[in-house]
Amino acid sequence: MRLYDSRKRILVTGGAGFVGSHLCDRLLEQGHEVLCADNLFTGTKRNIEHLHNHPRFEFMRHDVTFPLYVEVDQIYNLACPASPVHYQHDPVQTTKTSVHGAINMLGLAKRLDCKILQASTSEVYGDPQQHPQTEDYWGHVNPIGVRSCYDEGKRCAETLFFDYHRQNGLAIKVARIFNTYGPRMHPKDGRVVSNFIWQALNGTPITIYGDGSQTRSFCFVDDLVRGLISLMETDDSVTGPVNIGNPGEFSILELAEKVLEQVGGDSNLVREPLPSDDPMQRCPDITRARNLLNWEPTIPLAEGLIPTIAYFRELLAEHQAMAG
Ligand code: NAD
Ligand code: UDP
């Protein structure tokens, strides 16, 4: 527990989501006050119900596309649906959330003269032609495809962050987050880790899109949250962007094997078409994070899958109990 004089009041937008709820937990453990603002589009009250009676936690139902007037010392801007199924459900709203949300949160940070961190994404690199991706790489992004609402929304948000920094001297931090997994992922969000675990637990076929040779690098959520907080704690000269991810790279077929190894069961693999604009390779170069934050991930995929699978088992048991 920190001393009272270092306690901060911290706004986490998207705090009822998968990553945001873990970030709220960690900030509370550090002794801060947390204001969680979320419209519960993809987040759930279940993710934060254990904080319901916490004296330093407050939940506010709020949509970041509208201005917010609160008094805080720091802002983590995470509000945005993150899985392709969710962000493609209402693409116009996704762009609004990224762009109007960034403008509103940056306006708030400007009025309060406080640090603000943006949860950006490896999607700003699109289907990358440089491998692994360094922060200097400008990306290879389709501006008019089905993923563009998310990719271009996040790219525009980064532009806004850097313009507020240049124009208004705002202390900004931009984290480019690579695929993250862990407990509290949404079971129906269509992401590969949650899909495969849910399918394996239910004994239904594991859906491999394309030939399964495309790669991703999977970071356990605790490692990510530690990285985000370390970035926020840097001095004002550090703006980022900084890649935060686990450089351990796996093909989707390798991931399926790992999940089946741990869950057991007799799910077979089925091939489904590769979604449009699906990046073929993704792996972060984390040299900058190592140098600036002294950060690197410590939890390998096989280890992080254990609590993640345990979480989904619990969720499945709840669903089965409810179904009678
Ligand atoms: P999530 O969908 O679980 O969480 C997003 C949260 O934002 C949800 O609680 C949702 O209800 C809320 N939200 C959405 N639109 C909102 C709006 N208009 N106003 C207020 N709240 C809104 O996703 P996540 O995986 O926790 O992602 C959190 C952040 O990290 C997102 O900004 C995402 O783009 C970024 N990110 C995540 C990953 C990943 O692998 N999980 C990778 C790259 C970037
Ligand atoms: N994927 C898959 N089967 C699934 C879900 C996803 O093969 O049931 C693939 C998807 O095509 C992509 C990769 O897994 O190549 C990661 O997908 P996810 O939606 O998790 O994240 P993103 O594409 O945004 O990295």
CA dihedral 116, 122, 126, 132 (to 10 degrees): 130
5 pLDDT above the threshold of 80: no
Any ligand 1 atom below 6 A from CB of 17: yes
Residue 2: per-residue pLDDT: 41
Mean pLDDT of 56-67: 98
pLDDT in tens, 10-25: 999 999 999 999 999 9
1 pLDDT above the threshold of 80: no
Q: Which of 71, 87, 85 is nearest to 14 (CA)?
A: 87
**Cis, peptide link before residue 241, omega less than 30° from 0:** yes
For the chain, which domains are there? 9-178+221-245+284-298 (3.40.50.720)
320 pLDDT above the threshold of 90: no
Which pair of structure tokens corresponds to residue 133? 């991706």
CA of 276 to the centre of ligand 2 (A): 11
137 pLDDT above the threshold of 50: yes
CA of 38 to the centre of ligand 2 (A): 25
Pocket test for ligand 2, best of 192, 197, 250, 276 (most atoms within 8 A of CB): 192
Q: Which of 202, 203, 178 is nearest to 191 (CA)?
A: 178
Which pair of structure tokens corresponds to residue 265? 């069961």
pLDDT in tens, 203-258: 999 999 999 999 999 999 999 999 999 999 999 999 999 999 999 999 999 999 99
Any ligand 2 atom below 6 A from CB of 252: yes
Any ligand 1 atom below 6 A from CB of 177: yes
- Say which amino acid occupies 287: T
Residue 6: per-residue pLDDT: 84
pLDDT in tens, 154-188: 999 999 999 999 999 999 999 999 999 999 999 88
Own/partner long-range contacts of 63-67 (Cβ < 8 Å, ≥24 apart): 63/39, 64/13, 64/14, 64/37, 64/39, 64/97, 64/100, 64/101, 64/104, 64/105, 65/93, 65/96, 65/97, 65/100, 65/101, 65/104, 66/104, 67/104, 67/107, 67/108
> What gap in Å lies between CA 133 and CA 64, rounded to an integer?
30
Sheet strands (E) in the chain: 9-13, 33-38, 57-61, 74-77, 115-121, 172-177, 180-181, 206-209, 215-217, 219-220, 242-244, 249-251, 269-272
Mean pLDDT of 271-278: 92
Pocket test for ligand 1, best of 70, 80, 117, 191 (most atoms within 8 A of CB): 80
CA of 48 to the centre of ligand 1 (A): 14
pLDDT in tens, 93-134: 999 999 999 999 999 999 999 999 999 999 999 999 999 999
Mean pLDDT of the chain: 95
Any ligand 1 atom below 6 A from CB of 40: yes
4 pLDDT above the threshold of 80: no
Ligand 1 atom nearest the C-alpha of 41 is 11
Ligand 1 atom nearest the C-alpha of 219 is 40
